[in-house]
Amino acid sequence: MRAAVLNTIPGQLEIEDISIDKPAPNEVLIRVAASGLCHTDLHFMDGHLKTELPVVLGHETSGVVEQVGADVSYVQPGDHVVACLSIYCGNCAQCLSGRPSICENPDASERAGPSPPRLHRSGQPVGQFMRLGGFAEQILVHQNAIAKISPDMPLDRAALLGCGVTTGLGAAFNTASVSPGATVAVFGCGAIGLNVVQGARISGAEQIICVDNNQAKLDTALRFGATDLVDANTTDPVEAIMELTGGRGVTHSFEAVGSSLTARQAFMCLAKGGTATIIGLMGAEEQVELPGLHFLAERKIQGCDMGSNRFRIDMPRYAKMYLDGRLNLDDMMSETIGLHDVNKGFSAMRAGKTIRSIITFE
């Protein structure tokens, strides 16, 4: 099968023919319909983060089940599914207390011991990015890496649920529990930030202030529910948010950029008792410095991993919300491309020109 492989870091992706195994008892073989390009893929291509090579990149993927292992009862061939990197073991304390997105034992989904690799190239093992490797015609994954969705859901839109949508909506719904009347600030209006915005809108927030330094992204945020826009090129975001909230600050802020500067700003714009949720991926060396006195008024700051998802519950629900006209996925789709154009898609992302490029497979 054809797949986009990262062979060097930093590096571009190379389209190669690689071999894929048959499902082990707990695995599922999926014919990929669509895969979205996410900033996390780009971080690894650019060498900000390291992974073993060679590896098939991609982790925002939808498809149709082709074959299931002997122990799989959750899906059958023909089912439509979305893959998720929040693969859970189902047995650890986090999984058993309803927090599978921070599973303590995700390695349980790996093939053990002397088994052959899931993917290989002339006998040389090829890795699957985030245990998925979605930039490929097929994926072979553990059954705990997929959620079943309605066959009515268009599979190109469904791919978006695999990472960006689940992270952004989940940050608002699950991590921060935004409630009616909330006042919200969102730093960064890429795929994650836009979904925080629509999650806040659906939750009944009365004010949703969006901050970005890209005017096109700010304009897009209006279509997702933003009530106020702050251009960080020309205005100090914290001062602007204070002014827009009558000097109080917001009840909930979200950082979806991945920098210590915006993380600090997200904390500094909080009202008394407010909560900052940090979603963006920061470099390993980044430190976030905060004024200690601000904790006195019960301001909080918390992390967020993949929207604190329970993806087998969340993803079919989000698909239904799209089908019911309550979720905007159409305006996230910047372009649909073939696998051979994957590097062009990442160049457009780097230039800030796209929200999501989606690879579709015929």
Which residue, 105, 83, 98, is CA-closest to 32? 83
Q: Which amino acid is present at 230?
A: V
- Measured between alpha carbons, how far is 82 from 144 in angstroms, rounded to an integer? 11
Coil vs helix vs strand at 70: coil
- Element holding 67 (H helix, E strand): strand 61-68
Coil vs helix vs strand at 15: strand
Does residue 38 belong to the site contacting ligand CXF (CB under 6 A)? yes
Between 155 and 163, CB nearer to ligand CXF: 163
Does residue 189 belong to the site contacting ligand CXF (CB under 6 A)? no
Does residue 245 belong to the site contacting Zn ion (CB under 5 A)? no
Output the smallest distance, CB 191 to Zn ion, in A. 8
Q: Across the chain, how many H-helices and E-strands are there?
A: 10, 20
Between 85 and 184, CB nearer to ligand CXF: 85
| Residue 332 binding result from Zn ion, ligand CXF, none, given CB thresholds of 5 to 8 Å by partner type | none
- Given candidates 29, 163, 197, 359, which one binds ligand CXF under the rule CB under 6 A? 163
Q: Which residue is nearest to ligand CXF (CB)?
A: 40
- Given candidates 40, 128, 143, 175, which one binds Zn ion under the rule CB under 5 A? 40
Please confirm whether the linkage preceding 54 is cis (ω < 30° from 0): yes
Between 310 and 356, CB nearer to Zn ion: 356
Output the smallest distance, CB 281 to ligand CXF, in A. 4
Residues in the interface with Zn ion (CB under 5 A) total 3
Query: 31 forms bridges with which residues in the sheet?
Result: 64, 138
Instruction: Please state at what angle helix 191-202 crosses helix 215-222, rounded to 10 degrees.
Output: 30
Query: 356 forms bridges with which residues in the sheet?
Result: 333
Between 20 and 85, CB nearer to ligand CXF: 85
Between 19 and 347, CB nearer to Zn ion: 347
Q: Which amino acid is present at 171?
A: A
Between 1 and 333, CB nearer to ligand CXF: 333
Please confirm whether the linkage preceding 151 is cis (ω < 30° from 0): no
Question: Rule CB under 6 A: which of 266-325 touch ligand CXF?
Answer: 281, 306
Which residue, 55, 34, 98, 69, is CA-closest to 309? 98
∠ CA 218-220-221, rounded to 5°: 65
Which residues lie closer than 8 Å to 105 by C-beta, 6 or more apart? 89, 91, 92
- Given candidates 18, 28, 38, 147, which one binds Zn ion under the rule CB under 5 A? 38
Does residue 163 belong to the site contacting Zn ion (CB under 5 A)? yes
Output the smallest distance, CB 129 to ligand CXF, in A. 10
Between 306 and 349, CB nearer to ligand CXF: 306
Binding residues for ligand CXF (CB under 6 A): 38, 40, 85, 163, 281, 306
Binding residues for Zn ion (CB under 5 A): 38, 40, 163
